[in-house]
Amino acid sequence: MLIALLPGDGIGPEVVAEARRVLEALDLDLSFEEALVGGAAYHATGHPLPPETLALAKRADAILFGAVGDPTCDTLERPLRPEQALLALRKELGLFANLRPATLFPGLEDASTLRPEIAAEIDMVIVRELTGDVYFGEKARHITSDGRREGYDRMSYAEDEVRRIAIVAFEMAKRRERILCSVDKANVLETSQLWRDVVNEVAADYPEVTLTHMYVDNAAMQLVRNPGQFDVILTGNLFGDILSDQASMCAGSIGMLPSASLRAWSGENGMYEPIHGSAPDIAGQGKANPCATILSAAMLLRHSLDQEAAAQRIEAAVSAALVAGARTLDLGGTLSTRAMGDAVLAALN
C-alpha cells in the first residue's frame, strides 16, 4: 500500500517523521512517497500545491499530512497561500467528511484548563462537513455600485451535500453511544434551515439514534459547561472548524488530537492530519508533540487500510507511553519530538 507523506510547513516535517517511524515499525507492507505542500512547496516551486503533489495524493492509498501555514506567505495573493493547498486537496479528492475525535487521555487530566472531573468526561467525535459551506462559495473583494469596498462570501448547502455527511454521522453514532447532536444556526441562517430539514429526513433511517439540534452559540457554551453530554456532533464546515478546535482544547492538548478526512464512510484515498497547525514559532526545535500525527497514522490504518489491529497497537502504545510519564513541552514535560517518538516506539508491542 502506498502512503503519501505531505509534511508541509513549520513543525509538520518533524511530527510526520515520527509518525513514519511508528508506521515502519509495524511490519506491514507499506511504501512511502513524500512531496512538498504549502509554504514549503511555494518557496521551492512557486505554487503551494504543485501538480506532482496532487498527482501523488490521488495515486496513494492514503495521505499523511503534517501542517501548512507560513507567515512569510501572508501577503501573497490568496491562491498562492499555503492554506489553499489544504483546501484544494480536500476539494480535489472529494474529502467531504472530517472526523475529529476529542478524548481526554488517561493521565492528562491536568493538561486541561477545565476542572479534572469535567475534562475526564470528554469523549466525542465531531463530524465536520469539509468541502462546502462558506469555504467554497463565490467570494471576492470589490467596489460596490455606491463606491464602497466590500468583501463577501456565499454560504450554502445543497441537500445532497448535507445528506451524505449526515449519513456518516449517523453511522458513527450507531457504532458509539447512539447520541447525535446536529449543530447549526437555523434561527438566523437559511443554509442552516435546509441543513436541519435534511438531517431530520436522514434521521428516519436511523430510529436507533437519538437526534437533537443545537444552535452553534449554545454548543460553544455547552462544550465548556458540560462537554461530557456529547457523543457525536454533526456540523458544517465553518462551525466545525471553530467547535472542533474548542473541543480539543477542552480535552487538554491540541498536540494530542488526530483527524481523518474521508470521501465516504469507507476510507479510500483518505487524508489524515493532526488538528494542530504549523506552529512556526517552535518549528525546527524538536519541541512539538508528535502524538497527534502518530494517532492520525492510526486512523489512517483503521479507515483507509482496514488494519484495525495495527491501529489499536499504535493507540495503545501512545497511551502506554503517557501512562509511563512521557511528556512533551505542551504537556508540561521535557521530552523532545524525537524522544516522544522513541517512547511510543518503545511501548509498541
- From 103, 210, 229, 246, residue interacting with a copy of itself (rule: CB under 8 A): 246
Phi, psi of 70 (to 5 degrees): -150, 110
- From 61, 83, 171, 342, residue interacting with ligand IPM (rule: CB under 6 A): 83
Report if residue 18 touches ligand IPM, rule: CB under 6 A.
no
Site string for a copy of itself, 176-205 (x = CB under 8 A): ---------x-xxxxxxxxx-xx-------
Helix 82-92 to helix 51-59 angle (10° resolution) is 40
Listed in sequence order, the residues at least 6 apart from 223 whose beta carbon sits closer than 8 Å to its beta carbon are 230, 243, 246, 247, 250
Q: In what order do the strands lie in the sheet with 258-262?
A: 31-34, 2-8, 62-67, 270-274, 258-262, 97-103, 123-129, 232-235, 179-184, 210-215
Residue 273 or residue 315: which is nearer to ligand IPM going by CB?
273
Report if residue 2 touches ligand IPM, rule: CB under 6 A.
no
Judged by CB under 8 A, the stretch of 35-43, 93-101, 211-219, 285-293 that binds a copy of itself is 211-219
Residue 86 or residue 343: which is nearer to ligand IPM going by CB?
86
Task: Kindly list the catalytic residues.
Answer: 135, 185, 217, 241, 245
Site string for ligand IPM, 202-221 (x = CB under 6 A): ---------------x----
Site for a copy of itself in 306-345 (CB under 8 A): none
- How many C-beta atoms surround the C-beta of residue 228 within 10 A? 15
- β-pairing verdict for 62-67 and 2-8: parallel
241 neighbors 126 (Cβ within 8 angstroms): no
- From 87, 203, 320, 345, residue interacting with a copy of itself (rule: CB under 8 A): 87
Report if residue 245 touches a copy of itself, rule: CB under 8 A.
yes
Residue 189 or residue 203: which is nearer to a copy of itself going by CB?
189
Residues 249, 104: Cα–Cα separation, whole Å: 10
If you search the block for the grid coordinates 468526561, which residue do you land on?
121
Residue 28 or residue 188: which is nearer to ligand IPM going by CB?
188
Report if residue 250 touches a copy of itself, rule: CB under 8 A.
yes
330: alpha, beta or left? (left if phi > 0; alpha if psi -120 to 50): alpha
- Binding-site positions for substrate read 90, 100, 128, 217
